[in-house]
Structure 1
Amino acid sequence: MDSITHTLFGLALYGTVDKTNLDKKYKKAYLVTAVGASLIPDIDVISKLWDTAGHYQMWHRGITHSIFLTPFWALLFYLICIWLFNVKDYKLFLLGWLAVFIHDTSDLFNAWGTGYFEPFSLKRITFGTIPIVDLVFWAILGIAFILSKKKKAKAPYYYKMAWVFIALHLIIQTSQGYFIYKQYENDYDQIALSAAFIPWTFSVITKKNDEVMIFQDTVFTGPKVQYVLQSAGDTNLDQLFKERPEAKTLYEWAPFVVLVNNEDRLGLYDPRFYRNGQSFLFEYIEKSEIK
């Protein structure tokens, strides 16, 4: 998910806490833990500062998003609260653990994928059933916020109900995505799913031999072909990998790629992010620059 959504998740977790008998420093401790732990796995963005070999895609949502690291992040915020606020409350550890778990697990449902079981498995797990920015989540949390302002005493109840509706949305959307995915399983060599911003709408990216097709599909309307792409077969990518290390990272990271080998360019791109004639994950070199 995007950083705004993760922040909203943290605030929603804080909203579920009954703060009636909490003093000011306890409230601060709970807020810092809920929001901070909801964001901490994305600390991997700092790898851009030293990444000169183009490995950011492998770093991002990698080890920092591992399910095995969640208790360590929770412990970090527990210690931060002792240091900053002199608050020792085991519930802060549990809240932090839950916040990090929600961050890591929610990211599994995006097309980008997550190294959920690193370092024991380097496989990127992606279900592709929830968009990175899901406006349904925002709407649910927005309603909970408005209701909580009208009746502050019932705020924890409203936020707990918001989490119930978030879970229902996740289940319904993912169930539909799984149903659609299964319809393509026997007809193509490789399949990937990418949820659209419109609820219950998916892009299904398929590959058979060197042909990549992108469909728009829902359980109510059936498939509609959006794009037909041709991959450049057995193209030698050694020169590309040598001059653009990012290309090798993308090749290893993506479920499958489209190879480009024309008069002007040698490259590859991830078709899951193909929109309006191009993919924003496209690594290439100009043939005029090849030495």
Structure 2
Amino acid sequence: MDTITHTLFGLALYGTVDKKNMDKNSKRAYLLTAVGASQIPDIDVISQWWDTNGLYQMWHRGITHSLFLTPVWALLFFLICLLLFKNKDIKLFLLGWLAVFIHVTSDLFNAWGTGYLEPFSNIRLSFGTIPIVDFVIWIILGVAFLFSKRNKLKSPYYFKMAWAFIALHIVVQSTQGFLIYKQFDKNYDQVALSANFIPWSYTVITKKEDTISIFQDNLFQEKKEIYVLHSNEDADLNTLFTELPQAKTLYDWSPFVVVVDDNDRIGVYDPRFYRNGQSFLFEYIEKNNTK
């Protein structure tokens, strides 16, 4: 999910806490833990500062998003609150753990995926059933916020209801995505799914031999083929990977890539992010650079 959504998740978790009998420091500790732990896995963006080998694509949403690291992040915020606010409430650890778990698990549902099982597995898990920016989730949390302002005593109830509706939304959206995925899976060598911003609407990316076809589909209308791409599977990528290590990273990171090898350039791109004739995840070198 995007940074705004993760922030909203943290605020919504804080909203579920009954704060009637809390002092100011306790409220600060809970707010810091809920919002901070909801953001901390994305600290991996700083790896760009020292990445000289083109590995950032693997590092981002990698080990910091591991399921096995979630209690470590929670303990970090528990210790921070102990240091800053002298608060020893074990519920802070549990809240931090829940916040981190929601972050790394919600990211599984985007096309980008995560290293959810690192360091025990390098597989990039991605369901692709929820868009990175999900306006349905924003609306649900916005409604809960408005109701909580009208009746502060029932604020935790409204946010708990919001979480229930978010869970229902994810289940419905992902179930439909799974059904669409299965319709394509039997006819193609590889299939990837990417949810659109419009609810219950999906982009389906398929590969059969050297042909990549991209469809728009949902359960309530006929699928529509929007792009057919050719991948030069016989291209020699050794020079590309040597001169541009991030191309090798992208090749390993993506479920499958389109290989471009023409008179001007050689490169690879991820077709899940193909829009208006290009993918923003495209690594290539000009042919004159290979001479």
* Short-chain TM bin: over 0.9
1:181-196 to 2 correspondences below 5 Å: 181-196=181-196
What are structure 2's unaligned runs of at least 5 residues?
A: none
Q: Secondary structure at the match of 1:206?
A: strand
Query: 1:234: how far off?
Result: 1.1
Deviations 1:237-267 (A, max 9, x none): 0010011111000000000000000110100
Runs of 4+ in 1 over 2 A off after TM superposition: none
Q: State the one-letter code of the partner of 1:267.
A: G
Matched, 1:279 2:279: yes
Q: State the one-letter code of the partner of 1:130.
A: I
Deviations 1:151-197 (A, max 9, x none): 11110000000000000000000000000000011110000000001
Partner of 1:216: 216
Partner of 1:42: 42
Cα distance between partner residues in 2 of 1:210 and 1:285: 21
Q: State the one-letter code of the partner of 1:137.
A: I
Partner of 1:269: 269
Matched, 1:179 2:186: no
Deviations 1:118-172 (A, max 9, x none): 0000100000000001011100000000110011111000000000000000000
Q: Secondary structure at the match of 1:31?
A: helix
Cα distance between partner residues in 1 of 2:233 and 2:102: 40
Partner of 1:167: 167
Partner of 1:66: 66
Partner of 1:31: 31
Q: Secondary structure at the match of 1:188?
A: coil
Q: State the one-letter code of the partner of 2:272.
A: R
Q: State the one-letter code of the partner of 1:140.
A: I
Partner of 1:12: 12
Return the TM-score normalized by structure 1: 0.99
Partner of 2:260: 260
Return the TM-score normalized by structure 2: 0.99
Partner of 2:234: 234
Query: 1:222: how far off?
Result: 2.4
Cα distance between partner residues in 2 of 1:204 and 1:173: 14
What are structure 1's unaligned runs of at least 5 residues?
A: none
Aligned-residue CA RMSD (Å):
0.5
Percent identity between the two aligned chains: 70
Cα distance between partner residues in 2 of 1:122 and 1:44: 16
Q: State the one-letter code of the partner of 2:78.
A: Y
Deviations 1:201-228 (A, max 9, x none): 0000000000000000000012100100
Cα distance between partner residues in 2 of 1:264 and 1:154: 63
Q: State the one-letter code of the partner of 1:26.
A: S
Partner of 1:151: 151
Matched, 1:81 2:72: no
Q: State the one-letter code of the partner of 2:266.
A: L
Partner of 1:130: 130
Cα distance between partner residues in 1 of 2:56 and 2:143: 36
Matched, 1:3 2:7: no
Cα distance between partner residues in 2 of 1:172 and 1:231: 34
Q: State the one-letter code of the partner of 2:30.
A: Y
Q: State the one-letter code of the partner of 1:179.
A: L
Query: 1:53: how far off?
Result: 1.0
Q: State the one-letter code of the partner of 1:62.
A: G
Q: Secondary structure at the match of 2:221?
A: coil
Partner of 1:53: 53
Aligned residue pairs total 291
